[in-house]
Structure 1
Amino acid sequence: MGIDNKSYVKSDEDLEMYDKGQIAKAVDKTFGYEEALDLTGHGKYNYGLLFACFMIIIAMGIDIFGLGIIATAATCDLGMTIKEIGILSSMPFAGIIVMSYPWGYLSDTRGRKLVLMCAMCGSFVSATLSSFAPNWQVLATLRFASSAMSSAAESATYALLGECCNSRSRARYMLLMTSALMLTPTLYYIWGYFITKLDFSIPFLGIVFRPWRLLTLVMALPLGLGALLLYFFSESPKFLANIGRNEEAVEALKRIYVGNGGKLEKFPVKDIYLEEGSKDTVGEFSLRSLWSQIAPLFKPPLLWRTLLLYYLTFVIYIANNSFAIILPTILNVFFTSYATSSAGMGFCDLFKMTVSNNVTVVEELSREGSMCQGSIEDNTIWAGCAHGLSFFVLNALISQCARRRKVLSITILLVAAVAAFAIDNTGEPLSGLILFYIFLTTAMVFGVVSSYFVDLYPTSYRGMVACLGMMVARLSSFAGTNLVSSNMSEHCSVTLYGAAGLVISGAVTAALLPADTLSKFH
């Protein structure tokens, strides 16, 4: 039962710790989970957990998206053709698609922290072993395993962090987590720039240890560090309460309270209850238990919000990742053609000119010998760093408007759609490139959608709905990347107009989401 906060005297410490004293001095009362979580305050524990989850997201991003740098640097050493590089580069997406469902199930039934620690440790081992791969087939297999495990971070980190911070800071933290993904390109591009410029060849266990192998080792380290940091924090109290382990849930809340600067003996919560009810037990693994996790998502009352969020996920990932993944190629074609372009040419004319001159990116690189160099081109580094850093800062700024996430989503998508329509209509390539970067700001909506996965679903299904959402995201990214890469040169304008139309449909979908005042499942 609830408590009338005004009936208790508040100390100065309480006033400072808990938003001007809105905390009850109680001894043996039962609290709703959100109320109990608010009593723990907001401080060092939350900041520490945010940092740990931030590191895990960075580690996952580097593990999955940093493979392109490794593949480029290892091309000659492993004797890969373009086709083989494509197969290798697709392994992270395959790993995510295969393991998203199992990770969601395990996160909701075995625990957020347990899943994250096991997954990140396994990914660290696989990624480390991949640095000693004797051929590209072994490298591809190990990177598949590594990304399949690290992909657990896509959902479990958001669920863990969202269930351990109060309602006032939750949405902001979700958006800050997305900033971590924006930061990853800058990190692995810079590491690649410096490490691949080293010159050494060391025979070791039947292979020759070269700079790209050292780069692979360095990029694996954040995976192990993320697992180590998480060791110092508790399991989600809400997950524990959801499976009937209320005593452990209260202990976890006490740990958060003390970590935030409170005194243990003053913590008023003795028992908690979940507003949406609890499972009481965790069943044995079976196909039926797997189905029991997913079926409610596609039945009333969750069906409508599931369809909305999954369609929005489909739109923003196919519109963004389809272009962002091949961004270095797009930039290379742009700047190569821009140097010889004439007045009056638009953004897409540069891509058509590339085709008319019968010059492909691969041919250009081969003629310059770049395909067989172990170092990374400087222009690729600067472009990648600028993209990552600018979007990191932009996302951090947008996170300050987290309370208006519905309006924020609609605004970003509409601006991106207008930019996509205008890219090839400025009559000048450079302004088209700027508009293209504005179009890529659709990435800012990633964190908003993730926060809805936490807020709009009962605890029992949050991990599953988020993991299935990532399956939708990666499948759409995989399909969109192939579609964009095959049409960007000859049908650039149509591709951009199609993307703009799709983004507008996403804005309409976002308008159907619950109001900004909704902060938890109802």
Structure 2
Amino acid sequence: MAAVNESYDKTGDLDDIEMNSMGAARKKEDIGRYSYEEALDLTGHGKYNLGLLMACFMVITAMGIDIFGLGIIVTAATCDLGMGLAEIGVLSSMPFAGIIVMSYPWGYLSDTRGRKLVLMWAMCGSFLSSVFSSFAPNWQMLAAFRFISSALSSAAESATYALLGECCAARLRARYMLLVTSALMITPTIYYVWGYLIMKLDFSFQFLAIVYRPWRLLTQVMALPLGLGALMLYFYSESPKFLANVGRNEESIDVLKRIYVKNGGDEKDFPVKEIYLLDGSTEEVGEFSLRSLWTQIAPLFKPPLLTRTILLYYLTFVIYIANNSFAIILPTIFNVFFTSYATSAADASFCDLFALSNSTTVDETETQVQDASVCTDTINDLTILAGCVHGLSFFVLNALISQCAHKRKAMTIVIMVIAAAAAVGLNNLQQPIAGLALFYVYLTTAMVFGVVSSYFVDLFPTSYRGMVACVGMMVARLSAFFGTNIVSRAMTDHCHETMYGAAGLVISGAVAASFLPADTNVFPN
């Protein structure tokens, strides 16, 4: 690094020179003083990094189950809580509403109080709220608890990436980001399987003011990963870069030394005595105030960060409205598809099945709500199978894509172009199973989540990474909130138009991605 080599004097005595970890020369008076990235590179790669990866993987998995697993809970609890389509729509949108409300505060707290601290409190609170939601006597209380739970668990979306990215060497960072994102891909398999197994149980008994049924047990089981994620994080340290950035240099060096030792090094051999940051001076954490909130976010919308902010936020808007708008109602989409496919003509298209199912689905739902005695708490087996295939295939695909992390820009463009082509293709096939396959291909837009998250880490200074990512999640969930309401209403009567619109939006995202920095050159950090 150029900044490390400033003091190198070619005319100096070779005895006064030693080579640093990056292969550059340094004078003896600079021995022990390293840039943060150099110091982090010296800690190596081993048990600490892999353990933290597993902890972050669990946290992201827990968040995904908490947010997207609600679809299974709503499906199972519809009859028991006497919900109609309007109530189901309100309840299903609660996770996005919670994220929208808390994204900004979590970004502020992550950048000013610490990544690990935020995650520990958030995951513990989300665990408790999720457990309490299982005892909700009505759908309104269930909605309130799920709003709180998702508002808290949403901290994982940004703080987890910042914590992990700042604790692993730059050469591994993008790969780790994509591997953690693969947790979101496997969550459907987890909660679909849990839903299948638990909803096969048949029990019902009075407990306090509620009737305890299988869906309540499912809700409690789905809360467990939140508590487990908090427990796993307990054994790891705060981000050393965050500590250095807020002036706690000695603590930062202690954490780096701990990583070094956990990775197999000898504490006495750790050479770092002082570190410095290349992306700006350290900052003290001030008292909370509205002004401090503005101070934290304002630089994101001013040069030189403005262009990066707009670009990444637009990409975030595109991929989340294109993907999450369908993902949150995926159980419903699968149920409608398989129910209609069993009675439709062989030459019906993917979208034709939704038009055919409109009146039937409404009639069946209203009948179930009106007659509580027929509540069976079951989930269609084909829906479970489709959900498992979706989760497992996307998990494997994302793991494979993570091996191409050095080609992030090209990969983003290719994925989005293919997804857009799939959305157009399913509108022009008169074979429903082939249309379903193309719908799966369209959902691969989810593979871009981790890529965009890695750019939030790479393209912004340490002081603003948590904030820019959390506001990015606010943009993401706002788009998903409105997109879900649009898609849920449009799929039955305007499926073709919905998929063409989705294709056009994704193509615009591919165009925007072409303005990302080259794969071999990120913006100065």
User: Which bin holds the TM-score, normalised by the shorter protein?
Assistant: over 0.9
| 1:413 aligns with one of 395, 416, 437 | 416
Question: 2: distance between equivalents of 1:155 and 1:472?
Answer: 13
Q: Who is 1:236 aligned against? A: 239
Structure 1 residue aligned with 2:171 = 168
Equivalent residue of 2:313, what SS? helix
1:62 is aligned with what amino acid?
I
Which of 282, 307, 311 aligns to 1:308? It is: 311
In 2, Cα distance between the equivalents of 1:33 and 1:511? 30
Q: Check conservation: 1:241, 1:278, Cα contact below 8 A.
A: no
CA distance in 2, matches of 1:22, 1:178: 35
Q: Structure 2 matches for 1:67-146, cutoff 5 A?
A: 67-146=70-149
Q: Distance in 1 between matches of 2:431 and 2:211?
A: 48
In 2, Cα distance between equivalents of 1:176 and 1:22: 31
* 1:184-206 Cα shifts (integer Å, max 9, x gaps): 11111111111122222343333
Query: Secondary structure of the residue that 1:119 maps to in structure 2?
Result: helix
Aligned partners of 1:24 and 1:268 also within 8 Å: no
* Conservation of the 8 A alpha-carbon contact between 2:420 and 2:506: yes
The alpha-carbon distance between structure 1 residues 381 and 110, as it changes in their structure 2 partners (threshold 3 A), is same
Percent identity, aligned pairs only, is 72
User: Aligned in 2, Cα 1:365/1:136: closer, same or farther, shift over 3 Å?
Assistant: closer
SS in 2 for 1:143: helix
Is residue 97–residue 481 contact of structure 2 (8 Å, CA) maintained in 1?
Answer: no
Letter in 2 for 1:85: I
Indicate if the aligned counterparts of 1:167 and 1:519 stay in contact, CA closer than 8 A.
Answer: no
1:23 CA drift (Å):
11
Which range moved further: 32-41 or 343-352?
343-352
Counterpart check, 1:361 vs 2:364: no
Which secondary structure does the structure 2 equivalent of 1:2 belong to? helix
Partner of 1:470 in structure 2? 473
Aligned residues: 511
1:37 aligns with 2:36: no
Answer yes or no: is the 8 Å Cα contact 1:297–1:306 preserved in 2: yes
Unaligned runs of 5+ in 2: 9-13
- Cα deviations across residues 147-206 of structure 1 (Å, max 9, x unaligned)? 111110010000000000000110000001110011111111111111122222343333
Cα deviation, residue 344, structure 1: 4.3
Answer with 119-128 or 234-243: which moved more: 119-128
Query: 8 Å contact 1:329–1:361 — kept in the other structure?
Result: no
* Cα distance change, pair 23–135 in 1 and its aligned pair in 2 (3 A): farther
The one-letter amino acid paired with 1:2 is: V
Distance 1:23 1:144 in 2: 55
Which moves more between the two structures, 172-181 or 194-203?
194-203
Query: Residues 36 and 276 of structure 2 are in contact (CA less than 8 Å); yes or no, is this contact kept in structure 1?
Result: yes
1:429 and 2:429 matched:
no
Q: Which residue of 1 aligns with 2:200?
A: 197
Which ranges of structure 1 fall in alignment gaps of 5 or more residues?
A: 11-17
For 2:383, the equivalent position in structure 1 comes to 380
Amino acid paired to 1:95: G
TM-score by length of 2: 0.92
How much does 1:438 deviate?
A: 0.7
Bigger mean CA deviation after superposition, 112-121 or 271-280: 271-280
Aligned letter for 1:444? M
Tell me, in whole angstroms, the C-alpha distance in 2 between the residues paired with 1:341 and 1:196: 28
Tell me the TM-score normalized by structure 1: 0.93
The answer for the alignment partner of 1:397 in structure 2 is: 400
Contact kept? 2:56, 2:164, Cα under 8 Å: yes
In the TM superposition, what is the alpha-carbon distance from 1:24 to its structure 2 partner? 9.1
Q: CA deviation at 1:519?
A: 4.7
> CA offset at residue 145 of structure 1?
1.0
Distance (Å, rounded) in 2 between the aligned partners of 1:66 and 1:45: 30
Tell me if the contact between 2:92 and 2:328 (Cα under 8 Å) persists in the aligned partners.
Answer: no
For residue 266 of structure 1, what is the aligned residue in structure 2?
Answer: 269
How far did 1:322 drift? 1.5
Structure 2 CA distance for aligned equivalents of residues 178 and 188 of structure 1: 17
Contact map agreement 1:23 1:39 (CA 8 A) in 2 = no
**Counterpart of 2:34 in structure 1: which amino acid?**
F
Q: How far does residue 252 in structure 1 lie from its aligned partner after superposition? A: 0.6
Change (3 A) 1:354 1:172: same
Relative to structure 1, is the Cα distance of residues 60 and 24 closer, same or farther in structure 2, using a 3 angstrom cutoff? Answer: farther
Compared CA separation, residues 441 and 419, structure 1 to 2 (3 A):
same
